[in-house]
Structure 1
Amino acid sequence: MLQHVLAIASGSLVGFTLGLIGGGGSILAVPLLVYVVGVSSPHVAIGTSAIAVAASAAANLAGHARARTVKWGCALVFAVSGMAGAAIGAQVGKMVDGARLLSLFGALMVVVGVLMLRPRKSAGDPDVKLTAETRATLLPWLIGGGVVVGALSGFFGIGGGFLIVPGLIGATAMPLINAIGSSLVSVTAFGATTAASYAWSGLVDWPLAFLFIAGGALGGFAGTRLARHLAGHKHALTRVFSGIVIVVGLYVIARSVTG
């Protein structure tokens, strides 16, 4: 019973984070499942989190879509390109020792978090769209970025939002709030692809996944509302995004090294 309560509470935190920064769901979900809920296998934690995060991301996507923060053309190309990469990455990830996988995962989080803190020359182009005029410029970056991020997402068993957000910004120069909303399309697609691979290998705890999903629906609503509020304050959302990624990354490294 306690494990069920912890799973719902952890799912709420994951959903809140997804709504707030468009990623970080699996970043938090995997450590929470291992260190709080008590899942003994990192691979089962990865598979279970992929199911839960894909569902939570889909729910949060609806909120961002209503707020009109999703750049659908760019988001869909990035997501479709990344699904093939996610499938390949998931197969490779299952062959890597669980503790080593968590350690590498944490290191990647810290690097991405630090890079996101670098000052940008502008706030981004809020009018960017994938059109007949822009596709020659945008498509190569969106497709290439999607494949690379998808492969990393599948390898680490994550939705990949903390990689997708900077990936979308780098490919299109869209503002952070639009990258967050748009990233949820890829988080849903990558998570579902990774989850299918792990489920096929029997590496999913389905009861815990459903509890995580229920908790995520509760937390996601609050996270989406806060994201829209912080978007009006210069640099606030970027700092929250980077801070969460760096802190959790350091924690994951410390726990995986100390056992």
Structure 2
Amino acid sequence: MLYSLGPALLSGGLVGFSLGLIGGGGSILATPLLLYVVGVAQPHIAIGTSALAVTVNAFANLVGHARSGNVRWRCAIVFAAVGTLGALAGSTIGKLVDGQRLLFLFGILMLVVGALMLRPRREAAAPERLADFRTCLITAAIAFVTGMASGFFGIGGGFLIVPALILATGMPMINAIGSSLLAVGSFGLATALNYAASGLVDWPIAIEFIAGGVIGGILGMLLANRLSSGKNTLNRIFAGLIFVVAAYVLYRSAGAFLH
């Protein structure tokens, strides 16, 4: 679909930039962009396509953050492995829900998470914990719940994974961003494969999205490293982005939801 090339590349660039900058926001941006900017008609196809694109962009950004030393591998692997099981279960349930209803619930979830991200953090009161058995167990429990939400709404889940990793381990924001990308990619892959098995992925648009996302991701990662010294800067950027997109999603889906 040649008419979609420009919007798809630009939208993918924005998604990649978000993933590189804050470790999330990829799919909560990708699904609305595919529907309202690129012009994908069916919500379930937008969800499946965005999951595939975000998967590739997340793994590409993971490489950059790993080179910068921002990844806590043990916690990242536990979160990704357990959360992927939750994502498979959640995406199976999500396919059974009406597309417009799913988008409306998605918008509500975004508002809640945006509010949580704005809460002030007392980082000094919660130092980073050792990645021992207890920490890994807590991380695994949180990962499964996060993975289910990720799969249900067809999102990479970074905007849930980043605060979840901080809650479970006490790691600094920049490390949570880098570590989250392994889980974002894994969750997205589980969701994408599930949707692709039902024919709910637009492959040409996904490729265009990925191409734009690689470039955007490099720029986002560079900016994240520059802003990491500011304790709440990344949180505020992310929360603001969530509120804007949530308002638009709710506006576009409310009518169909109420009918």
How far apart in 1 are the matches of 2:125 and 2:7? 39
- How far did residue 126 of structure 1 move? 7.0
User: Could you say what the CA RMSD is over the residues aligned between the two structures, in angstroms?
Assistant: 1.3
Contact kept in structure 1, 2:90 and 2:149, CA below 8 Å: yes
2:169 aligned partner:
172
2:50 aligned partner:
49
Contact kept in structure 2, 1:73 and 1:129, CA below 8 Å: no
Matched, 1:189 2:186: yes
Matched, 1:163 2:168: no
Q: Structure 1, residues 71-100: CA drift from partner, whole Å, max 9, x if none? A: 110011011011111001001000001011
Please say which of residues 154-163 and 228-237 is displaced more in the overlay: 228-237
Name the aligned partner's letter for residue 153 of structure 2: F
How far apart in 2 are the matches of 1:180 and 1:106? 22
Unmatched segments (≥5 aa) in structure 1: none
TM-score normalized with structure 2 length: 0.95
Contact kept in structure 1, 2:128 and 2:170, CA below 8 Å: no
> Out of 214, 218, 221, which is 1:221 matched to?
218
TM-score normalized with structure 1 length: 0.95
How far apart in 2 are the matches of 1:6 and 1:33? 9
Contact kept in structure 2, 1:71 and 1:129, CA below 8 Å: no
Matched, 1:27 2:28: yes
Instruction: Name the SS of the counterpart of 2:41 in structure 1.
Output: coil
How far apart in 2 are the matches of 1:161 and 1:185? 10
The 5 Å alignment of 1:228-239 reads: 228-239=225-236
Name the aligned partner's letter for residue 38 of structure 2: V
Contact kept in structure 2, 1:15 and 1:217, CA below 8 Å: yes
How far apart in 1 are the matches of 2:36 and 2:185? 24
1:61 aligned partner:
62
1:135 aligned partner:
133
How far apart in 1 are the matches of 2:101 and 2:139? 30
Contact kept in structure 2, 1:123 and 1:175, CA below 8 Å: no
Matched, 1:152 2:153: no
Distance 1:126 1:71, change over 3 A: farther
Contact kept in structure 2, 1:23 and 1:159, CA below 8 Å: yes
How far apart in 1 are the matches of 2:138 and 2:92? 25
How far apart in 2 are the matches of 1:250 and 1:165? 22
How far apart in 1 are the matches of 2:127 and 2:178? 13
How far apart in 2 are the matches of 1:178 and 1:216? 21
Instruction: Name the SS of the counterpart of 2:123 in structure 1.
Output: coil
Distance 1:165 1:5, change over 3 A: same
> Out of 240, 243, 246, which is 1:243 matched to?
240
How far apart in 2 are the matches of 1:253 and 1:176? 29
Distance 1:176 1:102, change over 3 A: same
Unmatched segments (≥5 aa) in structure 2: none
Contact kept in structure 1, 2:55 and 2:188, CA below 8 Å: yes
1:75 aligned partner:
76
Give the total of aligned pairs: 255
Distance 1:248 1:61, change over 3 A: same
Identity, % of aligned pairs? 58
How far apart in 1 are the matches of 2:238 and 2:33? 18
Q: Structure 1, residues 90-122: CA drift from partner, whole Å, max 9, x if none? A: 010000010110111111111011111111122
How far apart in 1 are the matches of 2:198 and 2:168? 34
How far apart in 1 are the matches of 2:248 and 2:138? 32
